[in-house]
Amino acid sequence: MAASAVRVLSEHPFDGIDLDWEYPCYGEAGIASSPDDKRNFTLLLRTIREALDAKGSLEGRRYLLTIAAGADQYYVDGTEMDQAQKYLDFVQLMTYDMRGGFQVLTGHHTNLYAPAGDLFRISADASVNMFVRAGVPREKLVIGAAFYSRVWHGVPDRNRGLHQMAGGSGGYGPAFTELAADYINKNGYTRYWDEEACAPYLFNGSSLISYDDEESIRRKCDYVKDQGLAGIMFWEYSCDKTHRLLNAMYRTLQGNE
């Protein structure tokens, strides 16, 4: 696999390799898994790092090696992050889909903080602290933003739909392009802001949509700067043809907002 990675970098003008193994030691995605994944993941990263460094030394440059990491405790338990981080330039926390496909309880799927009254205490801030305790330096951590939404239907009309048992789990909702055109304060949906979570959501009396907007993006970017993190990433580019989210991200990180 390391040899394949080097070959890819020889054939294409990439900056490095990003691994998205979902997830070491877990087979829920229908992949083979084993407790040996925990150590083998570290060894895989070390082997790829050595191959990238060997190639880079011949060219007078450094190639990046990064991973996309699950944002909750299961990922820390299935890896050796204190050892793995030695071979990585960035650990990119997938701080989205933190609620949705597995939960019928409505809530934020890409919130910065965990609000009071939420049974699930996961958030971008909780994830950062979890990985720091696991041995990852803050300057290697990247948090994630969502350019798409999660939606619950059959939601009781209480508490503006937040933290309610819905008629089913939270599936993928509209991309931000569609949210901006047809949903945000349109067609019966009202935008609400959760100050504790630093996250917006939409509710129309029976459906709740969790998403990121310019305000939540700015809060995340300010958090990155305040906490001394490496940066922020997002999934994914084609979901925001308005470019509003990317512009907010860029301007805030540059100190223009």
Give the separation between CA 112 and CA 101, rounded to whole angstroms: 19
List the structure tokens of 214. Answer: 């310019």
- Which residues lie closer than 8 Å to 243 by C-beta, 6 or more apart? none
Given the residues 11, 22, 139, 215, the one annotated as active site = 22
List the structure tokens of 185. Answer: 């304060």
**Catalytic-residue membership of 22:** yes
Q: Which amino acid is at 126?
A: A
Detail the DSSP E strand segments found in 16-170.
16-19, 64-70, 90-94, 141-146, 148-153
CA angle 116–117–118, rounded 5-degree value: 95
SS3 12: coil
CA angle 161–196–190, rounded 5-degree value: 35
Contacts of 15-18 spanning 24+ positions with Cβ under 8 A? 15/63, 15/64, 16/52, 16/63, 16/64, 16/65, 16/66, 16/89, 17/48, 17/52, 17/63, 17/64, 17/65, 17/66, 18/64, 18/65, 18/66, 18/67, 18/68, 18/92
Angle, nearest 10°, between helix axes 37-59 and 2-11? 40
**Dihedral Cα 157, 162, 168, 169, nearest 10 deg:** 170
Residues with catalytic roles: 22
